[in-house]
Structure 1
Amino acid sequence: MVQTPEPHTYSLPAAAPYSNHGRTKAAWVLMLGVCLGFLLAGVGLIISNDAIVIASIVITVAAVVSSVIMRGMGLGQPVPRAGDETEKKDWYSA
């Protein structure tokens, strides 16, 4: 017995998603800087050293600022264009 295929009730996305999965230079700088800052903050709080705690805050803020600057320079995840589809619908859902 021959079965007729069901009509497609889905549509494919307009473009393929980004292939870097968020692994960009800006993301790595942010992750490493924040991890180092929090590690230093923990050490500074354990040994009660205010200078280390302040240095860890400076390192964390510097990592966030440098990551934002790097993303602006094009080293981060691309920003979706204005003409892209704004509706977030799964292509495989009915």
Structure 2
Amino acid sequence: MARTAKYYHHGRSPAAWVGSVGVAIGFVLVAIAAMIGPSWPLVITGAAVILVACLVTMVMKTMGFGQP
């Protein structure tokens, strides 16, 4: 029996949620770093969080947890 991917309506998929929340956290970190400094280690950490969130979202979409 073939397994069909679940259909998610309007991007309400686990991959979309992980991507949105991860990028939001990264942007908050970068904004805080810009206000207190600039604090370059915090800017780099925020950028790394954004990059990891994007990569995890792509992997989850490939695994079938995203909008086709």
| TM superposition score normalised by structure 2 | 0.84
Q: Which has the higher helix share?
A: 2
- Pairing 1:30-49 to 2, within 5 Å after superposition: 30-48=19-37, 49=39
Identical counterparts, % of pairs:
38
The structure whose RCO (Cα within 8 Å, separation 6+) is larger is: 2
Question: 1:15-45: per-residue Cα shift (whole Å, max 9, x none)?
Answer: xxx5522100000000001100000000001
User: Structure 1's 19 and 43: CA in aligned 2 closer, same or farther, altered over 3 A?
Assistant: closer
Question: 1:48-78: per-residue Cα shift (whole Å, max 9, x none)?
Answer: 1111100000000000000000000000012
**Greater radius of gyration (CA):** 1
Gaps of 5+ in 1: 1-17, 79-94
Opposite residue 40 of structure 2, the aligned amino acid is D
| TM superposition score normalised by structure 1 | 0.62
The equivalent of 2:16 in structure 1 is 27
| Structure 1 outlier segments of 4+, above 6 Å | none
Partner residue of 1:50 out of 33, 40, 48: 40
